[in-house]
């Protein structure tokens, strides 16, 4: 899930409105930051698979898992298992885990 807005600049590239709080957050590594930028640069309707993301970042799958876990630990990602499949909900703002409600389930 991605609630950020997309704008196009004059050269027809996607431009994101990245919150300054996220840019200034030194609690995540440069690679986790880069992963977030890859995720947020994609269309809202685009399904992101960790293996494909690892290939795009030119890192191995284990590294991609570590970066995603880092984003999850810093409350930028919420992970939920539905019917045996893990879903990642990614946000630019840190979440309050006590108040997450997705699909009517806590």
Strand partners, 70: none
Mind listing the pLDDT tens digit for each residue in 44-66?
A: 667 778 898 899 999 999 999 99
Q: 3-state DSSP call for residue 47?
A: coil
Task: Quote the CA–CA distance of 86 and 71 in Å, as a whole number.
Answer: 15
Instruction: Give pTM, 2 decimals.
Output: 0.71
Domains of the chain: 6-99 (1.10.10.10)
Q: How many Cβ atoms from other residues are within 10 Å of residue 90's Cβ?
A: 20
Residue 60 CA, chain-centre distance (Å), reads 18
pLDDT for 54: 93
pLDDT < 70: residue spans in the chain? 1-16, 43-45, 96-106
């Amino acid at each position: 899930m991605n609630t950020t807005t997309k704008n196009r600049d004059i050269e027809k590239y996607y431009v994101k409105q990245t919150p300054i709080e996220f840019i200034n957050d030194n609690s995540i590594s440069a690679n986790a930051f880069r992963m977030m930028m890859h995720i947020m640069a994609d269309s809202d309707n685009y399904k992101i698979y960790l293996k494909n993301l690892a290939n795009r970042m030119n890192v191995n799958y284990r590294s991609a898992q570590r970066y995603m876990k880092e984003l999850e630990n810093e409350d930028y990602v919420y992970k939920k298992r539905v019917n045996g499949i893990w879903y990642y909900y990614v946000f630019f703002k840190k979440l309050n885990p006590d108040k997450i409600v997705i699909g009517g389930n806590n």
